[in-house]
Structure 1
Amino acid sequence: MTEQQWIARARHGDADAFEQLVVAYEGPVYRLALRMCGSAEDAREVTQDAFLAAWRGLPAFRGDSRFSSWLYRLTTNAAIDFLRREKHHLGNLPLEEAPERSAPQQPELLAEQREQQEALQRALDQLSPEHRQVLLLRVVQQLSYDEIAQALSLESGTVKSRISRARRQLREILLRQGNFFPDSAVLPNGKEG
């Protein structure tokens, strides 16, 4: 069965079809929640909230955007709501999903890369949830500006300006921390376009 068929069946209350969608998207949703919240326990709760919102909202899902874009929007909204509700201070979480720039065999290089990832996560934690949201959707989930705009019900220009501000703030934070990463290394796949 295709994803569209699972969606159609789930929209009509088929719990087994919805379970197939959960299985397909649980990993990406959890990773996005983890980056938004900073702790595994909080990310599990946000993931549950996002899928619960998806189950409840699926009958109204029109399919104007990709299912994944809609689900990522639900996830980021659930994370923002959770963070506000809990007034949660973000912890330090390494970006374990960030691709390695090389495969060094030297312990010094491995330690340096780990330190850079930790510094990057600390800097991400200092961004507002809205800036972190668009930046992670762009860089981690690799959504286009239009997909992010559609998923978050924003204008494309607003998405572009938020991403630009988030990148600028991230660079400033990293510089203040004494981390002088080259611009291309600020975030994995950190393309502006």
Structure 2
Amino acid sequence: MHTVETRLAKLARNGDRSAFEELVQLYKDKIYHLAYRMLGNRQEAEDAVQETFLRVYLNLNRYDETQKFSTWIFRIGTNLCIDRLRKKKPNYSLDAELPEGDGGDWYSMLASDEALPEDQVILSETQQHIRGAIEAMPDKYKSVVVLRYLQDMSLQEIGDVLDMPVTTVKTRVHRGREFLRKQLEKLEKKKWTDFF
């Protein structure tokens, strides 16, 4: 099965620059969103995108055309983010950088229908809490949760990207969800404690 991406990768491998540019156009936003969700920082996400495409370019000759190109590029991007997270000191904070006017944001899917200003404030707080909970999540859960819920990948696709059995992916998704739930419950309790 030869997809457009596979054909483009083949052309790029043979020196076709416009084919490589097309691959960049197809994947730069997806890789940026993945990196931003994992790293929680705009500048680091942009650096990760550049590094991902550099690695893709340098390793095109190693791309196995029997696998989906998307799996291959997501594996490179995810591994890069995991490496960056390991090198970073664990300084988790609920005041993580929040993008101003970040258009393609997954939080925009939480609600629309022109909410009232006070609802907007509550939604914004919820978004910050969710972001903070994702920031605090252990790396091994963060990658599967980001791929599952923010990149909308199937368990099998995540297994392919992270090169792990689907049973492990399932376990990590479950534990990641539990971690998020507990973090959000703690915040909820704290909010009520602060209120009274």
Settle same-fold status: TM greater than 0.5: yes
Equivalence for 2:9: 7
Query: Unmatched 5+ residue regions in structure 2?
Result: 191-196
C-alpha RMSD of the superposition: 2.1
Once structures 1 and 2 are overlaid, which stretch shifts more, 79-88 or 52-61?
Answer: 79-88
Q: Aligned equivalents of 2:66 and 2:131: distance in 1?
A: 33
Judged with a 3 Å threshold, the aligned counterparts in structure 2 of structure 1 residues 92 and 108 are, in CA distance, closer, same or farther, namely same
2:6–2:68 CA contact under 8 A, matched in 1: no
- 1:166 and 2:176 are equivalent in the alignment: yes
More helix by share: 2
Q: Aligned equivalents of 1:72 and 1:100: distance in 2?
A: 25
Determine which structure has more spread, i.e. the larger CA radius of gyration: 2
1:149–1:159 CA contact under 8 A, matched in 2: yes
Tell me which amino acid in the other structure corresponds to 1:165.
R
The TM-score normalised by the length of structure 2 is 0.84
Residue by residue over 1:96-140, the C-alpha shift from the partner in whole angstroms, topping out at 9 and shown as x without a partner, is 322032423310111111111110000000111221111111111
Alignment coverage as a number of residue pairs: 180
- Which residue among 27, 30, 33 is the counterpart of 2:29? 27
- 1:177 and 2:187 are equivalent in the alignment: yes
Query: Unmatched 5+ residue regions in structure 1?
Result: 181-193
The TM-score normalised by the length of structure 1 is 0.85
What is the percent sequence identity of the aligned residues? 32
Q: Aligned equivalents of 1:92 and 1:172: distance in 2?
A: 22
Deviation at 1:88, TM superposition (A): 6.0
1:134–1:163 CA contact under 8 A, matched in 2: yes
Q: Aligned equivalents of 1:124 and 1:179: distance in 2?
A: 18
Tell me which amino acid in the other structure corresponds to 1:55.
Y
